[in-house]
């Protein structure tokens, strides 16, 4: 894995830029733990102060320091994306590898479930969950729901690779040597799909964070948990742009754009790395 990262940094400028952006955002996440103000407290600083030497990104109409709210919001938003990506990657790996290797009835049953999940209209379902759960629609519940909806496309991709690996000589040798199905999938097939898992992880994070921001801006999540979407929600509630408090909106929107650009560059560079022709062209240049 270290060799792959080293080659990507050396030969792919998009990966290097995306990695730098991600490291800067992780630094912001670490910085959020040193916030002098509790995340949910309001009116701890003078409201509606423009950016200056004391308040780098100004303050909000709720009396919160925009800079520290942004750091905490980034932490929660990134944590949300990582949580959804981690759980959905486990589901996609289990379903994809098992279906592709086992074949037959197992494959048909798993793919029937997979395709049923794939055609579900996700946003209306999320809105329905909100109206059903109401106050129970917290951050953790949203992670679980999005994880249950966000694995099907990648499971089908992993299945196609597993079907190819099933016919390789090393797989036959593993079967003849008495290795169990679990050991073959984990020790033999999993390393081949890890670059694809990494690329799809970036795509899944973009999707899940985008969903969370959309739901938060509409007020369909826990409004007391600071995230990028919640910052925009409260700014809209207080008519920040109309009142001239532009920094309250500009800070989270700018952070979201930077986050999405970083994740997109990482995903795009990994997709190029997976394609041997693109990788050879990069190294040749």
Q: What is the pLDDT of residue 45?
A: 94
Other C-beta atoms lying within 10 Å of the C-beta of residue 61: 18
Computed over every residue of the chain, the mean pLDDT equals: 88
pLDDT in tens, 164-174: 888 888 888 88
Which of 198, 209, 267 is CA-nearest to residue 74?
209
Which pTM value belongs to this model? 0.88
Average pLDDT for 175-179: 86
Domains of the chain: 2-283 (1.10.3720.10)
Query: What's the CA gap between 52 and 45, in Å, rounded?
Result: 14
> What are the residues whose beta carbons fall under 8 Å from the beta carbon of 104, sequence distance 6 or more?
none
Q: Quick: pLDDT tens for 271-284.
A: 777 765 555 555 45
Contact criterion met (CB below 8 Å) for 73 and 248: no
- β-partners of residue 65 are 59
Tens digit of each residue's pLDDT (9 = 90 or more) over 68-90: 999 999 999 999 999 999 999 99
Residue 132 has pLDDT above 60, yes or no: yes
Q: Sorting pLDDT into bands at 50, 70 and 90, what band is 26?
A: very high
Structure confidence at residue 31 (pLDDT): 94
Exposure string over 264-278, b if 16+ CB within 10 A, otherwise e: bbbbbbbbbbeeeee
């Amino acid at each position: 894995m270290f060799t792959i990262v080293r080659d990507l940094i050396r030969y792919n400028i998009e990966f290097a830029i995306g990695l730098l952006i991600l490291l800067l955002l992780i630094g912001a996440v670490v910085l959020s733990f040193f916030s002098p103000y509790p995340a949910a407290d309001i009116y701890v600083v003078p409201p509606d102060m423009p950016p200056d030497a004391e308040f780098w990104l100004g303050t909000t109409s709720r009396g919160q320091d925009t800079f520290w709210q942004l750091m905490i919001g980034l932490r929660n938003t990134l944590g949300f994306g990582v949580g959804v990506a981690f759980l959905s990657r486990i589901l996609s790996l289990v379903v994809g590898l098992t279906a592709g290797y086992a074949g037959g009835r197992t494959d048909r049953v798993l793919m029937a479930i997979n395709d049923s999940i794939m055609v579900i209209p996700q946003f209306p379902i999320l809105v329905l969950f909100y109206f059903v759960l109401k106050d129970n629609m917290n951050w953790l519940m949203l992670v679980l729901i999005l994880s249950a909806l966000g694995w099907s496309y990648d499971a089908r991709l992993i299945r196609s690779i597993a079907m190819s690996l099933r016919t390789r000589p090393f797989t036959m040798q593993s079967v003849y040597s008495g290795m169990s199905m679990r050991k073959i999938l984990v020790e033999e097939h999993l390393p081949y799909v890890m670059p694809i898992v990494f690329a799809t992880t970036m795509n899944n994070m973009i999707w899940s964070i985008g969903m969370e921001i959309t739901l938060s801006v509409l007020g369909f999540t826990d409004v007391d948990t600071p995230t990028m979407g919640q910052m925009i929600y409260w700014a809209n509630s207080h008519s920040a742009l109309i009142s001239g408090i532009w920094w309250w909106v500009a800070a989270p929107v700018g952070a979201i754009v930077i986050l999405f650009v970083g994740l997109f560059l990482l995903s795009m560079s990994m997709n190029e790395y997976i394609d041997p022709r693109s990788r050879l062209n990069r190294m040749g240049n």
